[in-house]
Structure 1
Amino acid sequence: MEDRDPQSARTLYGTAAPDAAARRFAVGPLAFDLVGGNLRAIRFGGIEVVRGIQYLVRDRDWGTLTPDISDLQVDEKDGELALGFTAHCIGPDGDRLTYRARIVARADGLSFTVEAVAIDDVTVNRLGFCVLHPAGLAGAPLRVEHGDGRAEDSVFPERIDPWQPFTDIAALIHRQNGLTVACRLDGDGFEMEDQRNWSDASYKTYVRPLAKPWPYEVPAGTIDRQSVHIAITGDAPRKISTQGRIVEIELGAPIGTMPRVGLALTPEQAATDRGLRGALKEAGVQDLLLSFAAYAGHGFAEMQALADVVEGLPQRRTLECVIAATGDLDAELRAVVDQVNRAGLHIDAVAIYPAPDLQSTPPGSAWPACPPLADVYAAARRAFPGLPLGGGMFGYFTELNRKRPPLDALDFLSHATCPIVHAADDLSVMQSLEAIPHIMRSARAIMGGLPYRLGPVTIGMRQNPYGSRTMPNPNRERIAMAGRDPRQDGAFAAAWTVGYAAATEDGALDTLTLGALSGPLGVIGDKGPRPVFAAVAALAKMAGRTRRACRSAAPGEVAAVATAEVVLFANLTAGDRIARIGAMEIALPPFGIASVPLV
């Protein structure tokens, strides 16, 4: 984040708390950023060859501990750059760990070595290196060298892999733009996961196989040594020229219909939402997603609260119901139907999710006891005859990809997304938009022509499938897995939302649910409409219209979504940009959005 006064920062990001500062280093054609003790955007001749090298300590809920960095030393001589620093981490139970890091960079590569010492008995889910390769490498040639000496020639997966595409990794060697990039890992076992599942724009190679027990204890006094080595061969490409502040936008042919736009309602926010019915009309959304947690004790009072909010409203209503699914399915669903009828709640569709699927099942772990989804959906058909029935996952594409429902039992498929499962810095959240087209194509490959209702799409996490809670965020910081993200209050969320919609071209979506009406994930805050409200309202006006293909010359800087009548632009950066479409130029302030008529 650029240096800004506190009020300007709050306007853009919803908080005056700074993002982690990046310090840029270069040796010949090799360049990288040092951010929070980790390496980001490793480039060779201006081309990003590795997205990141991170040394992470993750607690029992997969929360990432923030290291306290000290004693940074920088030494540059004879074409070599050496960095060193000490880091201290404290877990949620007060358990302490410290490590010493050393980074040595030359014109043809770098090494990153860490020696960690547990001061106390430390409980972690992961301790060590993760290497991120950019999502843009999908389909690129890849050679994998394994710990047992085997080697295999493959590619980075094009369709999102639900499990680990590669295990027992000693080295990854890929070709890109005439370069050969070798990444060698030492100190423990490594395997890869396809982070596009979570809308991260990367393939992640991480330490310690998930098949091993976790969380696990690192006894006091334990010393852990790991290292990552990057070697690059080939001629450095010419420096890639950038367009500067002007970004060209090109409109293409018609590609279908803009999706309906929805918002979520919860019983917990019903008292607030009842007073926002006028604002809901102003937003102009076509769909309402009514969340009901039967498994967690929601009953008639909660159903009545939802009914009171939506009474007389014209939007299509889908009841999103999570059931316990531990006993008689028919009896449990009949109780839900009874509550719907007693509350006088009219619904147009229902989506049913069994509670055991709220928690993700990682590779190597046993699936929780759960009735077959075919049985769950059959019971739902009996309970709600004649209503369109949806399923999929209450959680994210990861869970849908790993547990695919019987499509012939459903009328539509749904899942949510959240970009802060693994990282919450501003760059990672905006880069998550690169992963959305991959999710669209992979989801379509699973569901065929079934209607696709995507959402809720939120920056903050509404439910944590990977731990016992979402992370608290009392100081309004950028925290992975936080249920309350401060950027929801800023212009950042509005730009991100438009960028998200622009990235869904390949999804042929029926509905895009863009967060909630109010609350931490809402378009309306305590002080009135948030900036994201305008983004949602603009997209709602485009719903149902013929969509046109839209290409940005710099998609990481300016996004655009278009119909035959209007183009909606978003500046995805913290600097000024100009979007140029034909002879028309549109000035966009930092994270600004603009709706421009074409006729």
Structure 2
Amino acid sequence: MTDTALAFTLYGTTQADPAPRLLTAGKLTAQLAGGNLRAIAYDGVEVLRAISYLVRDRDWGTYDPALSNLTVRETGDGFTVAYTASCNGPDGSHLAIAATIEGTADGRLTFKGEALSATGFETNRCGFCILHPIVGVAGTPVAVEHVDGSIEDTKLPDLIDPWQPFKDMRAITHTALPGVSIECRMDGDTFEMEDQRNWSDASYKTYVRPLALPWPYRIPAGEAVTQQITLTITDSRTADTLRAPAGNTGVIRLTPGISSGTMPAIGLLITPEEARASLAALQQPDAPKAQDLLFHFDPTAGHGTQAFRDFAEIAALHNGTTTLEIAVPCQRPLDTEMQEIAAQMRAANFTPGAIMVCPSVDRQSTPPGSKWPDCPPLENVYAAASRAFPGIRLGGGMLSYFTELNRKRVPAGNLDFVSHCTNPIVHAADDISVMQTLEALPFITRSVRAIYGNIPYRLGPSTIPMRQNPYGSRTMDNPQGGRIPMANRDPRHNGRFAAAFAAGYAASVLDAGLETLTLSALTGPFGLYAGKGEPAVEGGPRPLHEVVKGLAQLAGQKWQTVVTSEPGKVLAFQVETAAGRAIWIVNLSAEKQSVDTEQLGIPSAQTHLAPFERTCIVI
């Protein structure tokens, strides 16, 4: 297979993420990618996930600035980087950025950025974002220095904070490993932190310009905006306390875990726009035997009785359960709206087994400092739904993401289940960031359980492409098939990348005790089957198809966790099936991985996985 063909198989596109450049200054290392720094480590331990200079538009989309005049100088003691970048606004405006980066062997790193516009420039955010990792860091002590000079000794949140855990920040210090402290100082503006695990990002994000200030805002013409991030690493270890270098055999070890439970039912999303294609796909011999069909209905999008007729025809072919999710307009009396929907359902002879209702307006996020939109009390919404759909299981939550559910806690006392979605390309869409979102999923599900207890819990649809944008007026079109945040189509959905992501997703949320997990639609840009003429798959099943089909076959079976020595590269779990113990192993990386499975009782002690390969071993 040629390199181009392999890239298309893996990612659904021949466009590749540029490989980062490794920068070294003594024990300090960082990866330079697109003018920003990621994977900043000291003595082999990640101390910051990223330092990035970002410019966002009025819909919170991220500009992809054109870099020029890039120079990188490396010596035995450190490195320096300089470049210029530019952004062009939709109104013809222009923003120029000059950046310098310096790292030294004594554990000091500075990143300075200056933005200047000759025209004036509209933006929602312009400046630095600093990402702290979450694994091994969540819930640990930090010292926060505020802009008034006061010091707050506190902890990073363990359960996900719905709002900003820290405001008015000048610096934050944490411990990376015993005897090594990391101070991150932020000059040039007032910074604050948000818990990015809300959006399934695997980080805490410290960013510039408080959200309580108006946005979008305009950078005045001719007025320079200068900021600087200074990372200072203090290593107080002695020769006796230095950690021994970790042995690297290149083999990832798998061992049995102690957690166990029951595999969730698998759902598939069906929209009115894809109903006819979904009907045809459901009749294919290889159609997955999903346990639940999740029908989407939105009166504000023009959905009506015909949608229910199509849903009824599809439901007649399905042997499992059916759920209807309704985006309630909340523009007229609730009973009137709900009864009209119920009448349309009766006219079409469509009776779902469960209904999930969410006010349409709650699909839009309400950021800190913003005014909550008009919406009837959720107790009233649920009561009207109960009257309109008697005898049908009623669910609530959010048709959007955990962020919205965390910020607007639904009254779940009379609900039969609670639900929300996730999306991995809200803030970043590069391959590494998307896969890293799997790290945040256990924090999300544990936070849901802390809020709602043991209520039945449904998760999804959760796909790489974004089906709705709570943070702007629209999702982003992606005609060139790039890696774009908030895009309604993503090329990787056509590749093995999406299959690995879905398998890793399932492994990451097992501990949540989910009732139903929905990882895709049946057809369309979020579907298991591609549309006609789509590249690589030519209207057939995508690689994701086999993963979802396999998970559906495992529904209701007993699972047990598998511990992996490098969870960022390989995840696994095992399930008791009629055929024997099935061990799912998935490579989350673009490199081949060797996995030691001896402790799992597999006769062949080592398994080799190709990039983004998922294997199932039955013993």
Place the TM-score, normalised by the shorter chain, in its bin. Answer: over 0.9
C-alpha RMSD of the superposition? 1.5
Look up the match of 2:109: 110
- Return 139-148 or 307-316, whichever deviates more: 307-316
Trace 1:44-63 onto structure 2 (pairs within 5 A): 44-63=42-61
Q: Is the 8 A contact 1:21 1:36 kept in 2?
A: no
Q: 1:48 to 1:389 in 2, by over 3 A?
A: same
CA distance in 2, matches of 1:436, 1:92: 35
Pairing 1:24–2:29 present: no
Tell me how far apart the structure 2 counterparts of residues 279 and 90 of structure 1 sit (CA, whole Å).
Answer: 47
Q: Is the 8 A contact 1:132 1:205 kept in 2?
A: yes
Letter in 1 for 2:409: R
Structure 2 match to 1:213: 214
User: What are the ranges of 5 or more consecutive residues in structure 1 without an aligned counterpart?
Assistant: none
Letter in 2 for 1:556: G
The 2-side partners of 1:591 and 1:28 are apart by 33
What's the CA shift for 1:371? 0.3
Indicate how the Cα distance of structure 1 residues 305 and 119 shifts in structure 2: closer, same or farther if over 3 A, else same: farther
The residue that corresponds to 1:572 in the other structure is 588
CA distance 1:278–1:427, shift in 2 (3 Å): same
The one of 300, 323, 326 aligned to 1:321:
326
Checking the alignment, whether the CA contact within 8 Å between 1:20 and 1:425 is kept in structure 2 is no
Q: Give runs of aligned pairs for residues 145-544 of structure 1, distance below 5 A.
A: 145-178=145-178, 179-234=180-235, 235=237, 237-244=243-250, 246-253=251-258, 255-279=260-284, 282-526=287-531, 527=538, 528-544=540-556
What is the CA distance between 1:283 and its match in structure 2?
Answer: 1.1
Shift of 1:284: 1.6
- CA-CA distance at 1:231 after TM superposition: 0.5
- 1:289–1:317 contact (8 Å) kept in structure 2: yes
Instruction: Give the distance between the partners of 1:552 and 1:348, measured in 2 at CA.
Output: 39
Q: Residues 445 and 402 from structure 1, CA distance in 2 versus in 1: closer, same or farther, beyond 3 angstroms?
A: same
- With normalisation by structure 1, the TM-score equals 0.97
Q: Which moved more, 1:181-190 or 1:274-283?
A: 274-283
Task: Provide, for residues 413-463 of structure 1, a one-character-per-residue CA deviation record: whole Å limited to 9, x for no partner.
Answer: 000000000000000001100001101110110110100000001111010
The answer to whether the Cα contact below 8 Å between 1:251 and 1:551 also exists between their aligned partners in 2 is yes
How far apart are the structure 1 equivalents of 2:248 and 2:412? 45
Contact 2:416 2:455 in 1 (8 A): yes
- Measured in 2, the distance between the counterparts of 1:471 and 1:94 equals 20
Query: Which SS does the other structure have where 1:534 is aligned?
Result: helix
Q: CA deviation at 1:277?
A: 1.3
TM (norm. structure 2) is 0.94
Give per-residue Cα distances to partners, 1:345-384, cap 9 Å, x unaligned: 1310000010110110000111000000000000000011
Alpha-carbon distance, 1:323 to partner: 1.1
Distance 1:135 1:495, change over 3 A: same
What SS is found at the alignment partner of 2:566? coil
Answer yes or no: is 1:131 the counterpart of 2:147.
no
Q: CA–CA distance in 2 between the matches of 1:506 and 1:363?
A: 31
Which stretch has the larger CA shift, 322-331 or 299-308?
299-308
Structure 2 CA distance for aligned equivalents of residues 432 and 36 of structure 1: 20
| Matched-pair contact (CA < 8 Å) for 2:259–2:511 | no
Work out the CA distance in 1 between the residues paired with 2:481 and 2:351: 38
Residue equivalent to 2:568: 556
Alpha-carbon offset, residue 163 of structure 1: 0.2
The answer to whether the 8 Å contact 2:45/2:176 transfers is no
Q: C-alpha separation between the residues in 1 aligned to 2:193 and 2:59? A: 20
After superposition, the C-alpha distances for 1:31-75 in whole angstroms (9 at most, x for unaligned) are 000111110000001100000001000000000000111111122
Alpha-carbon contact 1:280-1:517 (below 8 Å) kept: no
Aligned residue type for 1:124 = T
Q: Which amino acid aligns with 1:68?
A: A
Query: In the alignment, is the contact (CA less than 8 A) between 2:571 and 2:585 conserved in 1?
Result: yes
1:135–1:203 CA contact under 8 A, matched in 2? yes
Deviations 1:69-88 (A, max 9, x none): 11111223472311101111
Amino acid at match of 2:153: D
Alignment of 1:4-19 (within 5 A): 5-19=3-17
Q: How far apart, in 1, do the equivalents of 2:310 and 2:47 lie?
A: 52
- For 2:608, the equivalent position in structure 1 comes to 587
Deviation at 1:556, TM superposition (A): 0.8
For residues 458 and 466 of structure 2, the distance between their equivalents in structure 1, rounded to whole angstroms, comes to 18
How far the C-alpha of 1:281 sits from its partner, in A, is 6.3
Give, in whole Å, the separation in 1 of the partners of 2:161 and 2:372.
Answer: 18
Give the secondary structure class of the aligned counterpart of 1:456.
Answer: coil
In the TM superposition, residue 133 of structure 1 has moved relative to its aligned partner by 0.1
Once residues 29 and 279 of structure 1 are traced to their aligned partners in structure 2, the CA distance between those partners, rounded to angstroms, is 56
Cα shift at 1:220: 2.1
SS in 1 for 2:167: coil
Distance 2:348 2:121 in 1: 50
Q: For 1:135, what is the secondary structure of its paired residue?
A: coil
Aligned partners of 1:394, 1:552: CA distance in 2, in Å? Answer: 33
Q: Aligned partners of 2:270 and 2:285: how far apart in 1?
A: 11
**SS of residue paired to 2:460:** strand
CA distance in 2: counterparts of 1:280 and 1:535, whole angstroms: 16
In 1, are the aligned partners of 2:26 and 2:78 still within 8 Å (CA)?
A: no
Equivalent residue of 1:457, what SS? coil
Question: Match for 1:276: what amino acid?
Answer: A
Aligned to 2:129, the other structure's residue is in SS state strand
Matched letter for residue 256 of structure 1:
G
Q: Distance in 2 between matches of 1:541 and 1:11?
A: 25
Contact kept in structure 2, 1:140 and 1:176, CA below 8 Å = no
1:308 offset after TM fit, Å? 2.4
Secondary structure of the structure 2 residue equivalent to 1:167: strand
Q: Give the distance between the partners of 1:483 and 1:163, measured in 2 at CA.
A: 27
Residues 254 and 187 (structure 1), Cα distance of their counterparts in 2 relative to 1, 3 Å cut: closer
Aligned partners of 1:413 and 1:5: how far apart in 2? Answer: 45
> Which moved further from structure 2: 475-484 or 230-239?
230-239
Instruction: Kindly state the Cα deviation for residue 561 of structure 1 after the two structures are TM-superposed.
Output: 2.2
Structure 1 254/207 Cα, relative in aligned 2: closer, same or farther at 3 Å? closer
Distance 1:519 1:93, change over 3 A: farther
Confirm or deny: 8 A CA contact 2:27 2:44 kept in the other structure: yes
Q: CA deviation at 1:315?
A: 2.0
Aligned mates of 2:337, 2:412 — CA distance in 1: 23
Aligned length: 595
1:40 to 14, 23, 38: 38
